[in-house]
Structure 1
Amino acid sequence: MSETICSVETVGDAIVQILQLRGVNCLFGGAPTSMIEALANPDNVNENSIRGIVTPHEQTSVAMAHGYYAATGRPQAVYLYSTVGTANGLNGIINASRAHIPMIVIAARSPIAEQRGIAGARDIHVQWSQESFDQASMLREYVKWDYEIRQPDQVVSVMERAFEVATAEPCGPVYISVPRDVLAAPLQSIAVDTPSRRITKTRVIADPEMLDAAADLLASAKHPIIITSEAGRTEGGRNALAELSETGGFGVLEASPVYSNLAPEHPCHLGYIFASQVSPDLEKADVILVVDSDVPWFTARVNIPKSTRVIQLGIDPFYQQLPMRGFPCDVPLIGHTEYSLNELTSRLKTRINNETRKERISSHQMRRNHQSNQLKDAIAKDEKLTAITPLWANHCISQLISSESIIVNEYPADLRILQPQGSNSYFGPSHAGGLGWGLAAALGIKVAKPDSEIICTLGDGAYYYCAPTSCHEVAAAENLPLLIIVFNNGGWNEVKKSVISTHPGGHAARANSVPLTSFGYRADFEKIVTAFGGYGAKVEKADELQSVLHEAMRVVREEKRQALVNIITQV
């Protein structure tokens, strides 16, 4: 056991030093006063120095930290300004919470002191009106832990506790508020355990008795199926899912996937169900294995027989954060996905008949070939149209994808066509659905993986919500070239479908246009990016789309600039 003794000047300086010692590479958003002073100190500049990335809007900073962790598994730090900055960042924190993304969120707080002679005392008009009785109350439901530093000698303990709670499973964001005068309080040195003595890394494997029960159910099933949303969070989890599906010939459905959970060409891949889509496979299944999926199906739309047995697997398969979740669980497998799936696979190898496995895989492949041919026919049909359909747009985008590509999607990507190949090749939005995540998350991934080629697909609503000028400024200032593709259908298509689904045959369904679902004006989004030195293009005709996309990709690859293509699509 050893300690690192750090010479510091203030509490803010101490926070910077601790972040660096705990492996934080980036501080997204900016920093409060005394942390800026510490970052400006030449004595603090070394190979482990934090990269401070200024974001003009707090939504950008939180989503960038989200993207960085998703791509690397390393939590980063975010700065939010007081109550108002916390409010701006709350949407992103909700997304991170539901996606189990750890991050250290540090927020300024109005100074406690008002009197002369105390560094950092109140001296700005807003510091009275921005103070709240309980600053963290607005986000307490969405962070795992919150605390306010009130004394200089607390700083090490508070920061260590923050990392401990954020990274303990299930992971999530934590929130620390610091009054400006406390941040500026003098401090001479801190002692920090190196390495940390707050180790949270562990290997949780499901109960052996429950694993045996699950294996027996799957082995005896006539129509078993696996549903997952996040098994591909780690490469190990993705590989374990592939091996399990091959061992039993189990078909795999990806339900609103957040990651690439199974190779698209895998013989057991049954496809994707997004948003409110349903799959007929679910009603036929007699055993369902749910792997890391908060909402595996919609009870209101799918009739799962009561005789169907359900196995739920994950570090928290019951999703205890959610106020309501009514899915049955006959066999709980509580543990890390990779290790628990591997244990389940080892049990099934002696229980599954090889002929049964081969027959299932052959059946899956025949169906996949049929569906693939249908999809190709539909794309070929749309190619001949004048207007651009989502199918044709996705096909054109698929022609850009290379082995270095990472797709970051906020709603319009059709994974049947784009087919992300490897682990960490696809990142989708949190199931919380806080719009505005995609572009900033793509920037965070680009920071984490600068050699990767980022293709960010957004709906027009998602682009509106992402504080686009903030994102484009960061891309320009930090030299983060990426391709942004906006599917501009001029409105809230999902809202329209929801209204008609809720009231089939109703007034809205019979109307020429559904009220409050059209933006009324299709913006020239491509002009916004040019204000930040980027390339912008708008395309409305199907036969022009491929050439426009290839030119935009050339700008990203060769000129190292951000590019945005505004695709005017059919609704």
Structure 2
Amino acid sequence: MPEVIRSVETVGEAILEMLQLRGVDTVIGGAPTSMIEAFAKYRAQGKPAPRAILTPHEQTAVAMAHGYFAATGRPQAVYLYSTVGTANGVGGIINAARARVPMVILSARSPIAEQRGVAGARDIHVQWSQESYDQAAMVREYVKWDYEIRRADQVADVIDRAFEVAMAEPQGPVYISIPRDVQAAAMDEIRASAASRRITDARMMPDPARLDEAADLLASAENPVIVTSELGKSAAGRAALARLCDVGGFGVLEASPVYSNLDPEHPCHLGYIFASQVSPDLEKADVIFVIESDVPWFTARVTVPDSAKVIQLGIDPFYQRLPMRGFPCDVPLIGHAEPALEGLGARLESRIPADLRDRRIAAHRSRRQDQQAQLRDAIAREGQLSEITPLWANHCISRLLDNDTIVVNEYPIDLRIVQPGAAGSYFGPSHAGGLGWGFGAALGVKAARPDKTVICTLGDGSYYYCVPASCHQIAAAEDLPMLVVVFNNGGWNEVRKSVVSTHPQGWASKANEVPLTRFGVRAGFEKIAEAFGGFGAVVEDPAELLPTLEAALRAVKDEGRHALVNVVVSV
């Protein structure tokens, strides 16, 4: 393998060279001190360097890296400042960990040296106060690997190890701390293989005997149902699921989907399971095929027959990093979904009678058509009300979509209405629920896919958490025009529903207003967008919503500005 030798001046510059060599095209958040020096050097000399996106807050940086990977499948580098910056980014790191999103997190650390004459030695007050006994301990439960660079000759191996661990299945974030004086240490050259020799990209194949077991169960099932949440991370896996449905007529439920897992127009698409929704398909199922889903149903809401056999397919179908998970698994299929689904399809093609398959598909299609007709009627009724309902807001957003649209959603979207089309056209939040992910993730998607129209949908609570000024600043400074739609119901509606669900006959359920769930003021979110040169509007009249959204989208597409529409919705 050819070796690359590059002249450098410091460890910080060597790190930047290695990141670029390993395919990082964007460093998000900022950079350690000596990497900033390297960026300045490259700019002065006209040398190519990764795009540097400065974020005013670390939570935004981690969310952007999350969105960038979701849109491209390529991990990027994130910079966090010391202990306090790491603390700001922890929520995003938890999201990435639970969503199995790889990224290389670089964090400054207080210098080791205190004495005069050492480049980068401690020279400001915080470098004593910010130091911790174990800086990575804050994130160790949620990163796959952490390490601290202490020597110049480690740089190439540490960066290669970081990408190796981040990209190996199950994928996830990794964390590298770098003391400032180590960053600033003199270094003459960096040596590394031209292409990485830490290859992790390989299809994991399930045990053929287990595939036979799964095929036997699916072939003999009377009421089989498939449940998935994150299969759509792989476009090939999504396509393989559609082919399996064509073979067996199996109905598919998406459980709190993070991606678009099956074309919603496919006749076997049965709909979605969210916290407030259940499906009769699970309650009558005799075989449940779970594919890449950490929580395929809610045991407190759904009674799955004890006699139902459960097949679980995934890279880690047991989700071993979750402290507790009580779902049964009668047949484990450990590996990538695409080859497993291909193997099952081949085994089932001659075992599912054509008339049975056709009857199933016809029944799914008929039920779906009835549901869509009922939904259209409900939308038409709610469009005549004096207040904007979530259903009507979703309908209006759906009118904006085309083949070049990507929707990034943090909780309010109704996927029955705002239907994602192609693979990669929808990204939802990590099931960890670290609020404040959506806006930053949408910025990352837009940075990665500037050719796409990005629409970000948020609840007002999510918007508060996303550090709005940070996100609006980046949208303006980095030329990332996109549309943000905030469903503003003036409080924590999910908290209200949770209280009432937990205590259905309790005091809160009888109160005119559930305590600690209303914000008490109507915020002018649109003014924050305007403060950063964006388009801002607030809407309360249902008849004005679609025209306002269309005007906002024109500002995005024709004027190159980001836009925010503050939609006042009923609870």
CA deviation after TM superposition for structure 1 residue 470, in Å: 0.2
CA deviation after TM superposition for structure 1 residue 521, in Å: 0.9
Q: Any gaps of 5 or more consecutive residues in structure 2?
A: none
**Per-residue CA shift, 1:153-206, capped at 9, x if unaligned?**
111111111111001000000000000000100111111112111111111111
SS at match of 2:386: coil
CA deviation after TM superposition for structure 1 residue 47, in Å: 7.4
Aligned residues: 571
**2:201 counterpart residue number:** 201
CA deviation after TM superposition for structure 1 residue 298, in Å: 1.2
**1:284 counterpart residue number:** 284
**1:340 counterpart residue number:** 340
**Per-residue CA shift, 1:387-440, capped at 9, x if unaligned?**
000010011111111111000000011111111110100000000000000001
CA deviation after TM superposition for structure 1 residue 483, in Å: 0.4
**Alpha-carbon distance in structure 1 between the residues aligned to 2:122 and 2:40:** 23
Aligned-partner residue type, residue 258 of structure 1: V
**Alpha-carbon distance in structure 2 between the residues aligned to 1:45 and 1:347:** 60
**Alpha-carbon distance in structure 2 between the residues aligned to 1:229 and 1:58:** 28
**2:447 counterpart residue number:** 447
**1:162 counterpart residue number:** 162
Q: Is the 8 A contact 1:24 1:77 kept in 2?
A: yes
**Per-residue CA shift, 1:328-375, capped at 9, x if unaligned?**
000001011111111111111021111110000000011001100000
**2:70 counterpart residue number:** 70
**1:530 counterpart residue number:** 530
**1:510 counterpart residue number:** 510
**Alpha-carbon distance in structure 2 between the residues aligned to 1:478 and 1:459:** 24
Q: Is the 8 A contact 2:491 2:517 kept in 1?
A: yes
**1:459 counterpart residue number:** 459
**1:406 counterpart residue number:** 406
Q: Any gaps of 5 or more consecutive residues in structure 1?
A: none
Change (3 A) 1:367 1:45: farther
SS at match of 1:4: strand
**Alpha-carbon distance in structure 1 between the residues aligned to 2:182 and 2:13:** 12
- Within a 5 Å distance, the mapping from 1:214-225 to structure 2 comes to 214-225=214-225
**Per-residue CA shift, 1:69-116, capped at 9, x if unaligned?**
001000000000000000000000000000000000000000000000
Is residue 350 of structure 2 the alignment partner of residue 363 of structure 1?
no
Q: Is the 8 A contact 1:38 1:44 kept in 2?
A: no
**Alpha-carbon distance in structure 1 between the residues aligned to 2:425 and 2:266:** 15
**Alpha-carbon distance in structure 1 between the residues aligned to 2:336 and 2:205:** 6
- Within a 5 Å distance, the mapping from 1:536-547 to structure 2 comes to 536-547=536-547
SS at match of 2:178: strand
Aligned-partner residue type, residue 197 of structure 2: R
Aligned-partner residue type, residue 315 of structure 1: I
**2:266 counterpart residue number:** 266
Is residue 323 of structure 2 the alignment partner of residue 353 of structure 1?
no
Aligned-partner residue type, residue 58 of structure 1: E
**Alpha-carbon distance in structure 2 between the residues aligned to 1:476 and 1:142:** 32
**1:330 counterpart residue number:** 330
- Within a 5 Å distance, the mapping from 1:106-255 to structure 2 comes to 106-255=106-255
Share of identical aligned residues, percent?
A: 68
**Alpha-carbon distance in structure 1 between the residues aligned to 2:96 and 2:447:** 18
CA deviation after TM superposition for structure 1 residue 274, in Å: 1.7
Is residue 51 of structure 2 the alignment partner of residue 82 of structure 1?
no
- Within a 5 Å distance, the mapping from 1:474-485 to structure 2 comes to 474-485=474-485
SS at match of 1:226: strand
Aligned-partner residue type, residue 19 of structure 1: L
**1:419 counterpart residue number:** 419
CA deviation after TM superposition for structure 1 residue 42, in Å: 3.0
Aligned-partner residue type, residue 399 of structure 2: Q
**Alpha-carbon distance in structure 1 between the residues aligned to 2:240 and 2:314:** 13
**1:101 counterpart residue number:** 101
**Alpha-carbon distance in structure 1 between the residues aligned to 2:199 and 2:216:** 36
Q: Is the 8 A contact 2:94 2:432 kept in 1?
A: yes
**Per-residue CA shift, 1:496-521, capped at 9, x if unaligned?**
11111111111110111100011111
Give the TM-score normalised by the residue count of structure 1.
0.99
Change (3 A) 1:312 1:48: farther
CA deviation after TM superposition for structure 1 residue 12, in Å: 0.3
Q: Is the 8 A contact 1:483 1:563 kept in 2?
A: yes
SS at match of 1:142: coil
SS at match of 1:312: strand
| Aligned CA-pair RMSD | 1.0
Change (3 A) 1:45 1:328: farther
Q: Is the 8 A contact 2:42 2:49 kept in 1?
A: no
CA deviation after TM superposition for structure 1 residue 45, in Å: 6.3
Q: Is the 8 A contact 1:10 1:188 kept in 2?
A: yes
**Alpha-carbon distance in structure 2 between the residues aligned to 1:344 and 1:520:** 54
Give the TM-score normalised by the residue count of structure 2.
0.99
Aligned-partner residue type, residue 379 of structure 1: I
**Alpha-carbon distance in structure 2 between the residues aligned to 1:371 and 1:445:** 32
Q: Is the 8 A contact 1:25 1:48 kept in 2?
A: no
**Per-residue CA shift, 1:454-505, capped at 9, x if unaligned?**
0100000000000000000000001000000000000111111111111111
**1:6 counterpart residue number:** 6
